[in-house]
Chain A
Amino acid sequence: MSAVEFRDVHFRIGDRSILNGLTLSIQLGETLVLLGRSGSGKTTALRLINGMILPSSGEIRVDGKATVEWDRVRLRRGIGYVIQEGGLFPHFTVERNIGLVPRLEGWPETKITARVATLLNSVNLAAGDFARRLPRELSGGQRQRVGVARALAADPKILLFDEPFGALDPVTRLDLQREFLRLRAEFGKTSVFVTHDVQEAMKLATRIALLHEGNLAFIGTPAEFETSPHPEARAFLDVLHEARRAQ
């Protein structure tokens, strides 16, 4: 069974169509990268998965159940979410940020403390050093690591990444991309990753879904993507080849 399934999903705001009949399924354990330009509908597609928005027509099934039928709070607590800068609560320490969902879920304090320490360790931050800091006392990359740890906290089945590394400098970005691959090997979570960066997509994806003006232009492995004849795919591949030539 697939982890997430889009069935002829349309999303409109007023008479503007953002997604036009998106159909795709996301397999258990894969990393599907939603690639596209700004306004292609990729972030909309992501936010439909955890019920932040609901489709105008069609349905998105998570764990076999349509998002409109899910209790939205339950649905979201089972899905980790990472956004730019981590979206950390500025008034919470690192420890409270990471422990938030477990705490909402009523875990005992000792279990939360242990979980936070394990996760900080997983994202390569020393718990003793970082647990009590506030987000503003961290670098951008550190904040993003905490954001990933927070998303993993309650052991969700699915992780959503909304251009998480977009605001980082290239060195930190590369560092976190490697980290992402390492964590994927360690946790094996189903992940959906939104980016407009084709290099990032090629590096992280097990499959790429290319969105163009609300339509699915291509879906397949990075290797298949390189030979796609679709004009939008060619446009992104030009960027990729340009970058390779420059190296």
Chain B
Amino acid sequence: MLSDVLQDLLEEGVQLLGEHLVLVLSAILIASAIAIPAGLLLASSPRARRWALGFASIGQTIPSLALFGFLIPIPFIGGIGQHTAIIALVLYALLPILRNTVTGILGVDPIVRDSAVAMGMTRAQILRMVELPLAAPTIIAGLRIATVTTIGTATIAAAIGAGGLGVFIFRGIASVDKLQILAGAIPAALLALAADGALGWLEKRLSR
């Protein structure tokens, strides 16, 4: 009896975990593709930097459940389902990645940048050989914060039909079923820990 219940949970759990991973990975990849290049550009423009960081901060103050709700009625990008959830998660992930990219680039010792210019390196060479490698640990740290929070926030995506481990949690709350809640919460927490550990290791390795 009990083992049947567990068997069902496990089967569904594997599927939901897969959905969860798709949500998180898509959101982080898209957010990085936007925020890292944007951060590199913003590092050399103080004025645009204030605006962009302000905008990204506002994005993050909107309660996540509300943001998911806001996006549903918006044509093309909104609606029920996975893509709406991914858009919301991207908005959340932008700020830490953007901010850390900017901080990382600005943190490069001016003397080092100066000597790179003086040795006749081109702008692109300085970025590729000096600024990016030196900023990498800080950028990875931003990626790490973004990933860990996205794994948690993605559980709320179930509220707008995007699937993922949140399905267990919402169903568990609705039916007062602790086992279901735990079946969603524990894998999500373990996933967050694993991501934190892996990216933390990478961060440390790069800042050798």
A residues in contact (CB < 8 Å) with B: 50, 52, 72-79, 81, 83-91, 100-101, 104, 150, 160
B residues in contact (CB < 8 Å) with A: 109, 111-112, 114-122, 125, 129-130, 133-134
Taking CB atoms, residues of chain A closer than 8 Å to B133 are 91
Cα A76 to Cα B112 in complex, Å, equals 15
Taking CB atoms, residues of chain A closer than 8 Å to B121 are 73, 104
- 5 A-B residue pairs with Cβ-Cβ distance under 8 Å, sorted by A, are A77-B119, A87-B114, A90-B134, A91-B133, A160-B118
Specify the main secondary structure of chain A where it touches its partner.
helix
What's the count of A-B pairs with C-beta under 8 Å? 54
| B120 lies within 8 A of A83 (CB) | no
Of B111, B118, B130, B134, which one neighbours A76 at CB under 8 angstroms? B118
Specify the main secondary structure of chain B where it touches its partner.
helix
| A101 lies within 8 A of B119 (CB) | yes
CB distance from B194 to the nearest CB of A (A): 28
| A77 lies within 8 A of B112 (CB) | no
Taking CB atoms, residues of chain B closer than 8 Å to A76 are 117-120
| A77 lies within 8 A of B120 (CB) | yes
Taking CB atoms, residues of chain A closer than 8 Å to B120 are 72-78, 101, 104
CB distance from B140 to the nearest CB of A (A): 14
Q: Contacts A73-B122, A90-B134 given: A52-B111 contact, CB under 8 Å?
A: no
Q: With A52-B114, A78-B120, A89-B115 given, can you name 17 additional A-B contacts, CB distance below 8 Å?
A: A50-B118, A73-B120, A73-B121, A73-B122, A75-B120, A76-B117, A76-B119, A77-B120, A79-B118, A81-B118, A83-B111, A85-B111, A86-B115, A90-B109, A100-B119, A104-B125, A150-B119
Taking CB atoms, residues of chain A closer than 8 Å to B109 are 90
Taking CB atoms, residues of chain B closer than 8 Å to A81 are 115, 118-119
CB distance from A78 to the nearest CB of B (A): 8
Cα A79 to Cα B119 in complex, Å, equals 8
Cα A105 to Cα B119 in complex, Å, equals 11
In order of increasing CB-CB distance, the 8 nearest A-B pairs are A87-B115, A76-B120, A77-B120, A81-B118, A73-B120, A87-B111, A91-B133, A101-B119
Taking CB atoms, residues of chain B closer than 8 Å to A78 are 120
